[in-house]
């Protein structure tokens, strides 16, 4: 046992694989970085980091037991998160449709104020806090590796949290630079960009529908 962690390397492998699974958090960071560049992509990633940190602290403080004992509370969080993801998806699709119909000059003229109003940190934070997939991870997988009899469980949670945040940082960094590279290649193809944005929006709607059927198991 390592600092109260029952199986550290099993957690490391599991956390790495879970981070690689596509989800609304990573998809939003990728899409926003592709549209607005590296700096803005990291602003969105910061929202994800903070949201995950809040969920980890809540899980360590006993929120996991509260959610398990109160299915109604989890149901409220679940449907709120699903509705928010679906709403964001429809917003992306609507914006892509406007881009498709508008000329490239019009799109560039409208892009600057739209970027200022995007507030990527706030949106990414909201996605993280209302994402039942993330909640399930911290309620089930995250706390399962801490020995309840260990004298300093806060240290155990700190180590587990540091591991997941480290993986998340490198993964989101790869998405940010990958997204901006792809955006540079397709910048002149206005309708192709609109098509890709529509695809991302459709995935968000799909995430919302899927997460609406999530259960604590």
Specify if 31 maps to a domain: yes
**What would the two tokens of residue 142 be?**
């995250």
Query: Which helix H or strand E contains 36, and what residues bound it?
Result: helix 24-36
Range of the domain at 35: 8-16+24-212
Span between the terminal Cα atoms of the chain, in Å:
27
Tell me the three state secondary structure of residue 5.
Answer: strand
Q: Which residues fall within 8 angstroms of residue 97, CB to CB, at 6 or more apart?
A: 194, 198
Which of the pair, 68 or 156, is modelled with greater confidence? Answer: 156
Q: Residue for token digits 């390592």?
A: 2
pLDDT digits (tens, 9 = 90+) for 5-55: 888 888 898 888 878 877 788 888 888 888 788 888 999 999 999 999 998
pLDDT digits (tens, 9 = 90+) for 44-91: 999 999 999 998 888 777 755 665 666 676 677 667 767 766 777 776
- Quote the DSSP letter at residue 148: T
Most confident of 76-90, 94-108, 170-184: 170-184
**What would the two tokens of residue 74 be?**
């989890």
Q: How far apart are CA 116 and CA 109, in angstroms?
A: 13
Question: How large is the average pLDDT for residues 93-116?
Answer: 53
Specify if 116 maps to a domain: yes
Closest CA to 120 of 197, 209, 25: 25
Specify if 174 maps to a domain: yes
Axis crossing angle, helix 71-101 with helix 120-129, rounded to the nearest 10 = 140
Tell me the three state secondary structure of residue 146.
Answer: strand
Q: Residue for token digits 């104020």?
A: 113
Q: What is the pLDDT of residue 112?
A: 44
Specify if 3 maps to a domain: no
Specify if 53 maps to a domain: yes
Specify if 71 maps to a domain: yes
Closest CA to 180 of 45, 22, 85: 45
> Which whole-number Å values give the CA distances from 123 to 29, 57, 111, 153, 194, in the listed order?
10, 20, 18, 32, 21
Longest dimension (CA), the chain: 64
Domain count, the chain: 1
Specify if 1 maps to a domain: no
Specify if 184 maps to a domain: yes
């Amino acid at each position: 046992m390592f600092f109260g962690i029952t199986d550290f390397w099993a957690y490391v492998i599991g956390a790495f694989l879970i981070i690689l699974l596509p989800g609304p958090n990573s998809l939003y960071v990728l899409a926003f970085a592709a549209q607005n560049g590296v700096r803005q992509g990291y602003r969105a990633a910061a929202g994800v980091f903070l949201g995950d940190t809040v969920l980890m602290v809540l899980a360590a403080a006993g929120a996991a037991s509260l959610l398990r004992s109160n299915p109604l509370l989890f149901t409220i969080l679940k449907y709120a998160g699903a509705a928010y993801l679906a709403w964001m998806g429809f917003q992306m699709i609507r914006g892509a449709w406007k881009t498709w119909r508008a000329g490239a000059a019009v799109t560039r003229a409208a892009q600057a104020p739209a970027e200022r109003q995007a507030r990527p940190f706030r949106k990414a934070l909201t996605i993280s806090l209302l994402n039942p997939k993330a909640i399930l991870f911290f309620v089930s997988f995250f706390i399962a590796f801490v020995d309840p009899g260990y004298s300093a469980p806060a240290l155990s949670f700190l180590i587990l949290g540091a591991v997941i945040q480290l993986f998340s940082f490198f993964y989101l960094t790869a998405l940010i630079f990958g997204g901006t590279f792809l955006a540079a290649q397709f910048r002149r193809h206005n309708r192709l960009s609109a098509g890709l944005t529509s695809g991302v929006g459709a995935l968000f709607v799909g995430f919302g529908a899927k997460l609406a059927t999530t259960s604590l198991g």
